[in-house]
């Protein structure tokens, strides 16, 4: 029996382990449960028929009906019922051609639950379609800015606008979106944000007290410009290291992304795979710890700042957080990539090929920073395999030198720890301006 047999189908793929078929099937974005096909099923066509029938059975749960209480579309459904079906992925299953998967569905669910449902969640969409509905929505959105920020109020308004658009089509519950142009608040006063300089990144990469998989993740983000949500759980098969390409099939805005990796990044990933990864399987998560677990995505920002302190990086702007400034987030490594690339005479097209931006408008927002970066001669990123001692040409010597240069961090030097999750959909960030429009 041939080795490495693989099968692919609509919403599933499978491979033969040598004893039996193992399959993964899609539930929603970034959710691919594993299923072991019974050992009696050995032939390719038998496995294909098994998975086709299995997936069809799973999808029957979401077939249209008429009773809203059972989780299906109804002309009399309330805003809360519609919102619940959207954030749970059921609307996507009902209308796959018109409603896309949304990676920020958890954030949208929490916004609806905290700011919307208690006020207008019980009202039917038909009743909200008139002038009174607009007034009610305004009364929901306006207090949000006073409680939190204008960015959060904007997000709440965007979610409401999206619900009304879906109610018009494909659900056809109402005739038109009642929310007028200009209902979504604009961002007037952005909080000050910073970016990581190449010399600070180098100190971070050379600090051997930080787990090497996390340093590799941070270094990858700064050099390749990807969103953390796109590569946090990336697997080896998504990085074609022989030909130097990265492939991300599911992105935040719904468009797949393919881009050429930097030569230094390719070499670093090859050495990391050969020297540090226990499993060379193509399904192995690249940035996982030795036990196979991934870094906690919602603590990456806090850990990044703590690691910078451990690496003796003490620039105040990286850690300061108040009403006017945001502390450094992992998402800011993407802004660091754009700024450094433009400062080193990379073209807009070169940057957009790697970030996946839909228009150059967002990238142009970083040109002022880039001019200052170039004027101060802040330089470019050190190739990743040279920056991380464990991946250098002589790792033993490099690690020994790094151990002398980077003593253990002093706990007294740590920045103030705040519960600051790294939200890639933060509307304060200009990087997501065109992404909101794409949604």
Cβ atoms of 309 and 204 closer than 8 Å: no
Residue 302 included in any domain: yes
- pLDDT tens, 374-405? 999 999 999 999 999 999 999 999 888 888 88
Supply the pLDDT for residue 2.
45
Residue 192 included in any domain: no
Three-state SS at 172: coil
Mean pLDDT of all residues in 242-260? 89
Name the residue among 259, 271, 426, 389 with its Cα closest to residue 337. Answer: 259
Tokens standing for 248? 């991300």
Domain end point (choices 43, 62, 81): 62
Note whether 385 and 266 are same-domain residues.
yes
CA dist., res. 28 & res. 128, Å (int): 29
Residue 186 included in any domain: no
Residue 244 included in any domain: yes
Cβ atoms of 268 and 391 closer than 8 Å: yes
Note whether 305 and 158 are same-domain residues.
no
Residue 191 included in any domain: no
Mean pLDDT score of the chain: 86
Supply the pLDDT for residue 28.
64
61-65, 246-250, 298-302, 318-322: which has the minimum mean pLDDT? 61-65
Note whether 145 and 87 are same-domain residues.
yes
372 pLDDT more than 80:
yes
Higher pLDDT, 5 or 223: 223
Domain end point (choices 116, 147, 168): 168
226 pLDDT more than 80:
yes
Cβ atoms of 147 and 191 closer than 8 Å: no
Residue 338: pLDDT band with limits 50, 70, 90: very high
Mean pLDDT of all residues in 296-319? 94
DSSP string, 291-315: TSPPP-GGGHHHHHHHHHHHTT---
Note whether 39 and 94 are same-domain residues.
no
CA dist., res. 22 & res. 35, Å (int): 6
Note whether 241 and 367 are same-domain residues.
yes
Note whether 299 and 347 are same-domain residues.
yes
Helix (H), strand (E) at residue 246: strand 245-248
179 pLDDT more than 70:
yes
106-110, 138-142, 177-181, 330-334: which has the minimum mean pLDDT? 106-110
Structural domain of 17? 6-62
Mean pLDDT of all residues in 358-374? 92
Residue 379 included in any domain: yes
Residue 428: pLDDT band with limits 50, 70, 90: very low
Helix (H), strand (E) at residue 247: strand 245-248
Domain count, the chain: 3
CATH code where residue 122 lies: 1.10.150
CA dist., res. 310 & res. 70, Å (int): 53
Note whether 90 and 222 are same-domain residues.
no
Supply the pLDDT for residue 60.
59
Contacts of 334 (CB under 8 A, 6+ apart): 221, 225, 226, 227, 228, 355, 431
Note whether 255 and 400 are same-domain residues.
yes
Note whether 287 and 389 are same-domain residues.
yes
Supply the pLDDT for residue 374.
96
Between the ranges 99-113, 124-138, 199-213, where is the mean pLDDT highest?
A: 199-213
Note whether 157 and 213 are same-domain residues.
no
Note whether 267 and 315 are same-domain residues.
yes
Residue 18: pLDDT band with limits 50, 70, 90: confident
CATH code where residue 431 lies: 1.10.443.10
CA dist., res. 158 & res. 436, Å (int): 8
Domain end point (choices 62, 86, 105): 62
- pLDDT tens, 135-159? 999 999 999 988 888 889 999 999 9
**Residue 55 half-sphere exposure toward CB, CA atoms < 13 A:** 23
CA dist., res. 99 & res. 169, Å (int): 10
Residue with tokens 């204008």: 150
Three-state SS at 326: coil
Residue 177 included in any domain: no
DSSP string, 64-123: --S-GGGTS--TT-BHHHHHHHHHHTHHHHH-TTT----TTHHHHHHHIIIIIHHHHTTS
- pLDDT tens, 62-73? 443 333 444 568
Note whether 281 and 429 are same-domain residues.
yes
Residue 101 included in any domain: yes
């Amino acid at each position: 029996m041939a080795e490495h047999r693989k099968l692919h189908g609509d919403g599933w793929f499978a491979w033969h382990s040598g004893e039996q078929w193992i399959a993964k099937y899609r539930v929603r974005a970034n959710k691919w449960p594993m299923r072991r096909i019974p050992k009696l099923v050995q032939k390719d066509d038998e496995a294909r028929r098994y998975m086709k029938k299995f997936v069809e059975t799973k999808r029957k749960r979401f077939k249209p009906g008429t009773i809203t209480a059972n989780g299906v579309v109804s002309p009399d459904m309330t805003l809360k019922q519609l919102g619940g079906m959207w954030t749970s992925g059921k609307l996507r299953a009902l209308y796959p051609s018109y409603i896309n998967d949304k990676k920020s569905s958890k954030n949208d669910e929490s916004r609806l639950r905290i700011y919307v449902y208690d006020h207008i969640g019980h009202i039917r969409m038909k009743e909200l379609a008139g002038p009174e509905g607009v007034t009610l929505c305004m009364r929901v959105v306006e207090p949000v800015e006073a409680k939190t920020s204008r960015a959060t109020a904007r997000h709440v308004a965007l979610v409401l606008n999206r619900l009304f658009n879906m109610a018009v089509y494909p659900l056809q519950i109402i005739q038109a979106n009642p929310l007028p142009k200009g209902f979504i608040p604009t961002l007037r006063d952005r909080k000050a944000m910073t970016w990581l300089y190449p010399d600070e990144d180098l100190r971070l990469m050379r600090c051997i007290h930080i787990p090497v998989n996390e340093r590799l993740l941070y270094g990858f983000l700064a050099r390749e410009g990807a969103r953390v949500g796109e590569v946090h759980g990336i697997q080896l098969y998504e990085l074609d290291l022989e030909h130097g390409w990265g492939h991300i099939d599911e992105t935040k805005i719904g468009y797949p992304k393919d881009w050429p990796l930097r030569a230094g990044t390719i070499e670093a990933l090859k050495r990391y795979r050969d020297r540090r990864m226990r499993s060379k399987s193509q399904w192995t998560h690249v940035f996982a710890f030795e036990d196979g677990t991934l870094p906690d995505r919602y603590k990456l920002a806090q850990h990044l700042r703590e690691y910078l302190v451990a690496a003796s990086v003490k620039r105040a702007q990286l850690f300061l957080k108040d009403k006017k400034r945001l502390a450094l987030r992992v998402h800011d490594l993407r802004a660091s990539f754009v700024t450094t690339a433009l400062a080193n005479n990379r073209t807009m097209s070169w940057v957009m090929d790697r970030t996946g931006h839909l228009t150059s408008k967002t990238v142009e927002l970083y040109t002022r920073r880039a001019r200052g970066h170039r004027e101060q001669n802040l330089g470019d990123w050190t190739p990743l395999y040279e920056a991380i001692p464990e991946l250098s040409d002589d790792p033993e010597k490099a690690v020994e030198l790094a151990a002398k240069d980077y003593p253990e961090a002093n706990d007294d030097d740590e920045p103030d720890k705040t519960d600051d999750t790294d939200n890639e959909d933060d509307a304060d960030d200009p990087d997501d301006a065109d992404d909101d429009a794409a949604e």
